[in-house]
Homo-oligomer: A and B are copies of this chain.
Amino acid sequence: MPSPAAASAVPGEPVALTRVRRLRADRARQVADVLRAQILRGDYPHRTLPDERALMLEFGESRNTVRDALDLLRCDGLVERQQGVGTLVTAKKYAHGLNRLMGLAETLREHGPITNEVRTAGPITPPRVVAQRLGVPAGEQVIYIERLRRLSGLPLSLDLTYLPSDVGAQLLAEDLVNEDVFALIERTSGRALGTAEIEMEAVNADPHSADVLEIPRGAAMLLLERLSHFDDGRPVDLEYIRFRGDRLTMRAEMRRA
């Protein structure tokens, strides 16, 4: 993209407009961000990106800048270069909606089956703060379930789940391998979920989590804490979830008012 024209052409008093020649790395990032969004939105269903010349024209950039932009996407695992073919989309990222409270299997149904490796499941005496958040008396047991979740066989997330015993114990006899905890809670309790508060971070994978999720150590993950409630407000499901950053995006609609 051409650098912005002279700021002095603009009426008024421009404040701190930098006029320095832009670095190629800045221009490459700018190109990469636009291509990245196109890739994630599925604008390249046939997987082949336009060739370098077409991208140079489209973005008004030099060949080197376009190559640097493609390099950024390749480092993120979104594209790969194939000799004689060009640049191919390799991204396997799926969008998880942040507005509607849904389980993974519900959300990603069209993309493949979610299966859960149940790493542990059963009653534990939780730390006080977990009991508090679930509205359970201190010292009372809760059900703890730890699952490695896969989409079409490939790890997607690692979920640590705490449930009050009256709700959670019933789940232990259910099909935790193939069903979402949300769906199981609603079916076994006969009650509907209402709202959930989530807090989300980007973190680097520690070595052990990386091994479990089959990603490189230090790979970026989305780490969520999510507390879900029944529709009467009772807290019922506290989860700590690590999503592989290379496999999931979060989508939301926000309102100004």
Which residues of A line the B interface, CB within 8 A? 1-7, 9-18, 22-23, 25-26, 28-31, 33-34, 37-38, 40, 43, 58-60, 72, 75-76, 93, 95, 98-102, 117-130, 143-144, 146, 160, 169-170, 172-177, 182, 192-204, 206, 208-209, 218-222, 225, 231, 240, 243, 245, 249-257
Contact = CB atoms under 8 A, between A and B. Distances in A.
A88 B245 CA distance: 29
A10 B122 contact: yes
Contact of A177 (B15, B99, B175, B254): B15
A140 to B, nearest CB: 14
Contacts of A58: 127-128
A220 B195 contact: no
Determine chain A's interface SS by DSSP, over half rule.
mixed
Nearest to A219: B204
Contact of A122 (B17, B143, B240): B17
Contact of A255 (B101, B208, B250): B101
A218 B218 contact: yes
Contacts of A7: 121-122, 172
A173 to B, nearest CB: 2
